Amino acid sequence: YPWDKSSLKSMPVDLQQFKNLDAYALKVNVKSSVEELVKALLKQARTDLEKVRAIWMWICHHIEYDIVGYHNKSQRLTKAEEVLQRGKSVCEGYAKLFEQMCSLAGIQCKQLSGHSKGNGYKIGQSFTGKSDHAWNAVYLEGRWHLLDSTWGSGSVDDSFTKFTYRYNEFYFLTHPALFIKDHFPDNSNWQLLKPTLTLQEFESNMRQNSSFYRLGLLAAHPDTPIIHTVNGKASVSVDGRPGMLFTFKLNGTKKYGLMALKKHGMELDIYPQTTGSHRLDIFAKPSRAEALGDTYDCVLEYIVECQSVDKAMRFPKDLNQPVGPSWFSERQGFLRPSHREPTIHTNDGRCCLTFTLGKDISVLSSLHCDSGGLAEETRRQHIMQIRRRNQLELKVHLPHAGTFVLRIYAKKRTDPGNYDYVFNYLIKCLNAEVKWPPFPLRYSHWMEDYEIVEPLSRLLPANRNVPFKLKMHGVAKVLVQAGNIYTLTNNRGCWEGTCNTSGCTEVFVMVHENANHSFYSHVLKYEVETQ
């Protein structure tokens, strides 16, 4: 102890080699006696490990948990023969049947008892009185190994009224440093650990459940189940294999947190909205599961003790988890992000994000905020997107101070369909002076690789000479229509010139795509300030 992260098992086990044996054991249908059952199972098992495996598989798939017996001691049957005949029992019956079947197969096996963090376990509870669970140890290849066929067979719902068969490989020859997470034997020698843990350590240690390890997760920080906020914030991180998806619930809702997906796990900051105790659940699933429709499994449970609330932290309703770039956005083609953190802080209300696009995609972005009363279409005009070959730049000028969500969407450039949401950032600006006007209105003839150098503001000053500088390729002529029409000159792909805003309320930029045509396309629209 602690676990060295090398293997979930206490001895080398190749599950592929058990495939045929497992299938055979499941089909054995002998109920006449325990002896006959063992005889039938051993027909396909040669080594001691194979014999234990066949017995384990049969019990896990043929004995169900006895809910009635659990609630009513007088109806509880735990002798091996009785368990076999009825096909159900409580943990003691599973352990007795396992012990007797091993003994008939010539394998040393012990029934163990102790405390467990099973159904009904509450974080931080203390274990007093007599033990509440039974399991086994088997002697294989010169050492003792632990297993729990009750928990290997399935699970009982929270109200303890229904058992569901759901085979769990984790509890077969579990590494003792992992078994101790939820099994504490009455005799500490049967922890099979050096050093052994005290009951107090067992009580205060984190229960990483079997799903945590089954999904390839390795460690959680903090590794104590009760965590305290510092200035209203508590932080949790999980280490695991690449390509895992995570989500969380604080008191049953996915709110008041900022979760960032990392290459090997995730990081989460939680901001409870009231003082006191809060329940935090962390869920995970492999990313390839989207195709299989896998659901998220709960892998960790914490209690968050909050002493003070961070009132300044805001979570707009349009914020999606996870926040910020990740391996997931990278997979969608957004490489080398300029901003790697989920939150962008800006004092002057402006920020500029850049990405290298690793795929041939079209990108769309939108800005969201719960305050300010602007329509989404108006807020969208506060983002300007510039494409330089495979480089993407997003300029953001905030309309006012506050907390915003920048959402980024993409689709294959050749796809006619809709854009898919990819990821989002949180943008925070506390400067109450900030009040940027929108960018110029861009019409459909404005190409994504055109660029406005100046003027960037949609609002032009009245009665002024305003310099224009626009990067546009493949056009024959560029005009600015204000009170008069001004022609811009082409200086190596940069169209430059000046227009005067006297006597007009709007200014348009128009392009002549072909010198032989007289047709102009509108590409930009500006407004002139009223005096």
Contact 174, 213 (CB under 8 A): no
Q: Token pair of 188, please?
A: 């500490």
Burial class (CB in 10 A: 0-12, 13-18, 19+), 509: buried
Active site residue 148: yes
Distance CA 396, CA 386 (A): 11
Contact 244, 217 (CB under 8 A): yes
Burial class (CB in 10 A: 0-12, 13-18, 19+), 242: exposed
22, 66, 148, 269: the active-site residue: 148
Tell me the pairing of strands 257-262 and 244-250: unpaired
DSSP per position, 42-55: GGG--SHHHHHHHH
The three-state secondary structure class of 188 is helix
Distance CA 240, CA 206 (A): 17
Distance CA 364, CA 465 (A): 33
22, 61, 91, 102: the active-site residue: 91
Active site residue 133: yes
Choose among 422, 420, 451, 437: nearest CA to 527. Answer: 437
Distance CA 58, CA 167 (A): 11
Active site residue 397: no
61, 62, 115, 133: the active-site residue: 133
Choose among 66, 41, 64, 61: nearest CA to 51. Answer: 41
The three-state secondary structure class of 27 is helix
Contact 474, 458 (CB under 8 A): no
Distance CA 77, CA 312 (A): 59
Q: Where are the beta strands (DSSP E) in 329-401?
A: 334-335, 343-345, 350-357, 361-368, 383-388, 391-397
Q: Where are the beta strands (DSSP E) in 214-323?
A: 217-221, 226-228, 234-240, 244-250, 257-262, 265-270, 276-286, 297-306
Choose among 193, 272, 266, 258: nearest CA to 227. Answer: 272
Task: Report which DSSP code applies to 233.
Answer: B
Active site residues: 91, 133, 148
